[in-house]
A and B are shown apart, each in its own frame.
Chain A
């Protein structure tokens, strides 16, 4: 057992090799060691215990790569969906005609019908204006016919008074 004593001496001086230290560890793992070596048994036993110690709660990928990986996964997914939608709308514009008019409270989406309806209504407005302006034409005729009469001073004076009165009333 001189070999063990020599190795222990070297060990406590910090001069043993890993191989020699493994030999000492193996020796102290035995149930029976020499009484003079018993003192060191607990020391090597502790080293063995510590070497077999494991972290009770294992580190999982989800815990290690917390925000970083999941954040990028979500970002990539959302960006992908957004990009896909953008491409779809860009390549294929909405064909649906969103022009419409409201006629008598009803939504009319038929463009041709709406145009015809608008044209008809505009014609009605035009006819109404034309009919209503016809009396104005008669007034002009009367006015021009009255020009020779205005040469008579008394009548001219009267007419001017009448026009003045009309202007004031308006």
Chain B
């Protein structure tokens, strides 16, 4: 792959890779760094890219691996299960009157999902990818993707219903 092909195929994925990185590391700066690093790595190994069939899936998978490495080295305990931490950070229902507050709260809920569920929710509900593509990117089976997707959505619904019920009471 030469520079022109790289610019036309890999660089347009920048925003998608950035969103993917941000959904995993939950940090804008770290996500930007990850995108730069991945692009540099892809460029260095560009001779191998011609053999890759689905470059988007390959880049997304590489980005996830890079971000998981970052989480392991920089923030080893970042991934905390939702249920154990939510109560402490749950806002007062009266503070959630504004829609903006509610959307911020939903973002926090998503960020607190386990990494795999967070990534699957992102790839499906934000990027709109097929289950098979998500399975490739996350290196899991399609069944595992469906199960984790369902669990993640149900957790979100449970938390939303809890805050909603308190809000209207």
Chain A CB within 8 A of B62 CB: no
Q: Across the interface, do B126 and A11 meet the contact criterion of CB distance under 8 Å?
A: no
Q: A65 an interface residue at 8 Å Cβ cutoff? A: yes
Closest B residue, CB atoms, query A22: B128
Q: How far is the CB of B100 from chain A (nearest CB, A)?
A: 9
Total interface residues in chain A, CB < 8 Å: 33
CB distance from A29 to the nearest CB of B (A): 13
Tell me whether A69 and B3 are in contact in the complex, defined as CB-CB below 8 angstroms, given that A43-B106, A64-B36 are known contacts.
Answer: yes
Q: Is B161 a contact of A64 with CB atoms below 8 Å?
A: no
Within B150-167, the residues touching A (CB, 8 Å) are 150, 153-154, 156-157, 160-161, 164
CA distance A41 to B43 in the complex (A): 41
CB distance from A14 to the nearest CB of B (A): 3
Q: Are A43 and B160 in contact (CB under 8 A)?
A: yes
Instruction: Name the A residues within 8 Å of B157 (CB-CB).
Output: 12, 40
Decide if A14 touches B18 in the complex (CB within 8 Å): no
Return the CB mask of B105-133 against A: 1 if under 8 Å, else 0. Answer: 11100100000000000101111101000
Binding site for B on A (CB under 8 A): 11-15, 18, 21-22, 39-43, 45-47, 49-51, 53-59, 61, 63-66, 68-69
**Which 7 A-B pairs rank lowest in CB-CB distance, beginning with the nearest?**
A14-B150, A55-B18, A14-B149, A42-B102, A64-B39, A39-B164, A50-B126
B residues contacting A by CB (< 8 A) are 3, 6-7, 11, 14-15, 18-19, 22-23, 31-32, 35-36, 39-40, 43-44, 99, 102-103, 105-107, 110, 122, 124-128, 130, 146-147, 149-150, 153-154, 156-157, 160-161, 164
Supply 8 A–B pairs (Cβ within 8 Å), ascending by A.
A39-B160, A50-B122, A54-B15, A58-B14, A61-B11, A63-B36, A64-B43, A66-B40
